[in-house]
Amino acid sequence: PGAVLGRVDRPPAGARRAWRAAQLALAVWAASHAARLFRCHAALGLGPDTPDFPYALLPAGAAALALCLTLTVLDGGIRATAEQLPPRAAWRGLLGRALAPHAVHGLAGLMMAVLWRSPYGPVAALFVLLPMYISCWVFAQYHRERAAHQATIRALVQAVDIKDRYTRGHSERVGRASVLIAQELGMAEARLEVVRFAGILHDVGKLGVPTRVLRKDGPLTPEERRIIELHPEYGHEMVRGIGFLGEARTAILHHHERMDGSGYPYGLKGREIPEYARVVAVADAFDAMTSTRSYSRARPVGTALAELERCAGTQFDPRMVDALARALAREGWQTGVTADETTTPLPGARTPPPEGTAGAPPAMPARPAQEHA
């Protein structure tokens, strides 16, 4: 009933509910056969024998392991076929995430079964509900904490969007593109959420840049350019105390570094640049080139990818560019509008630069991908 009636976040809801119910039914069938193989019935004293404890731990453990293995095989299989993920990415981390909760709940179920067969009967078995309740409470606390994290992220992104009208919607798409790259690279599920945070918050440091500089009509002075180039450091300072962001903080600080060392703020090169920062740099440039804004039309996805590939090795990590190309070939991409398309710049006004342009080193030639990162 929980699988059939539970909440579904993504369509098609009916097919997903049917899949979850069938998946659990198959997993329980496999678990029951594993338990029988190790004489679970006799170990619990359900026949002529007396309960055999702690031997009963063995069939219970085998049942939990069989259940987790079945869930893992089915989960990874559906991700590899329906979502067309690479096998390593489809199955990575699934078994570990399934083992811990099912082992704990399996042990609680075993305790209930043993107590049920004890002289005290079903009443004693009800005491197992206490640790089960605690487990549910901890799970609920985790979801409340995660909701608070999401609210924090949304508040920061909205603040950036209000201050810089040219980035509206850009942050969310950079987060999505970053996840596509990370999935293609086979990153673990836990790291995917962190890289999404990194993409969403990569420009949060613009909150520290004076609005008159962000919205200035006309060319930037060298001093104003230096101010804008400080936004990665501003962003890092803003989020430094937010523990759940983890490695995302390094991406916020270093997403304007370049593979050849010509980026900022520290001029890191190659592998010196954190992996998350290399992911976000490609996602940031790609979305900037494929988004329609008040001052420029979106480029076709193929054109943007060709530009990224041209600058791979000097500006971008080739692995990240290749991963994005493979992911887009499989998933496609919905281009976006980051500002009001009907807005017409004033005559002679400076065309606002795409994401990251203002921070480009002055000596760099005006090459399209570099203009966007």
Instruction: Report residue 370's pLDDT band, with 50, 70 and 90 as the boundaries.
Output: very low
pLDDT tens for residues 98-129? 888 888 888 888 888 777 777 777 787 777 77
Task: Tell me what percent of the residues of the chain surpass a pLDDT of 90.
Answer: 36
Domain presence at residue 306 = yes
Give yes or no: residues 338 and 212 share one domain.
Answer: yes
pLDDT at 25: 94
pLDDT over 60 (residue 347): no
What's the DSSP call for residue 210?
Answer: -
Instruction: Report residue 150's pLDDT band, with 50, 70 and 90 as the boundaries.
Output: confident
3-state class (DSSP) for residue 159: helix
Domain presence at residue 129 = no
Instruction: Report residue 366's pLDDT band, with 50, 70 and 90 as the boundaries.
Output: very low
Complete DSSP assignment for 16-60:
HHHHHHHHHHHHHHHHHHHHHHTTHHHHTT-SSSPP-TTTTHHHH
Residue 292: strand pairing partners:
337
Residue 312: strand pairing partners:
316
Give yes or no: residues 332 and 194 share one domain.
Answer: yes
Domain presence at residue 269 = yes
Q: What whole-number distance in Å separates Cα of residue 262 and Cα of residue 54?
A: 64
pLDDT over 90 (residue 67): yes
Q: What whole-number distance in Å separates Cα of residue 239 and Cα of residue 246?
A: 10
pLDDT tens for residues 238-274? 998 888 888 899 999 999 999 999 999 999 999 999 9
Cα dihedral 181/182/186/187 (nearest 10): 180
Domain presence at residue 130 = no
Give yes or no: residues 170 and 309 share one domain.
Answer: yes
Give yes or no: residues 213 and 340 share one domain.
Answer: yes
Q: What whole-number distance in Å separates Cα of residue 366 and Cα of residue 112?
A: 70
Q: What whole-number distance in Å separates Cα of residue 188 and Cα of residue 41?
A: 38
Cis preceding-peptide flag for 54 (omega within 30 of 0): yes
Give yes or no: residues 307 and 174 share one domain.
Answer: yes
Give yes or no: residues 323 and 177 share one domain.
Answer: yes
Instruction: Report residue 340's pLDDT band, with 50, 70 and 90 as the boundaries.
Output: very low
Domain presence at residue 175 = yes
pLDDT tens for residues 205-229? 999 988 888 877 778 888 988 998 9
Cα-based distances in Å from 342 to 278, 292, 293, 294, 337: 34, 11, 9, 7, 11
Cis preceding-peptide flag for 12 (omega within 30 of 0): yes
Identify the residue with better confidence: 63 or 344: 63
- pLDDT-wise least confident of 9-18, 71-80, 236-245, 339-348: 339-348
Give the CATH number for residue 168.
1.10.3210.10
Domain presence at residue 132 = no
What's the DSSP call for residue 293?
Answer: B
Whose CA is closest to 281, among 306, 303, 250? 250
- pLDDT-wise least confident of 32-36, 188-192, 256-260: 188-192
pLDDT at 30: 96
Rg (alpha carbons) of the chain, rounded to whole number: 26
Whose CA is closest to 293, among 252, 228, 339? 339
Give yes or no: residues 186 and 315 share one domain.
Answer: yes
Give yes or no: residues 178 and 54 share one domain.
Answer: no
User: pTM, whole model, 2 decimals?
Assistant: 0.65
Q: What whole-number distance in Å separates Cα of residue 107 and Cα of residue 306?
A: 55
Give yes or no: residues 31 and 180 share one domain.
Answer: no
pLDDT at 166: 67
- Domain with 194, as residue range(s), is 142-371
Give yes or no: residues 111 and 199 share one domain.
Answer: no
**Backbone CA torsion sign across 331, 175, 232, 278:** negative
Whose CA is closest to 31, among 40, 18, 19, 22? 40
pLDDT at 357: 37
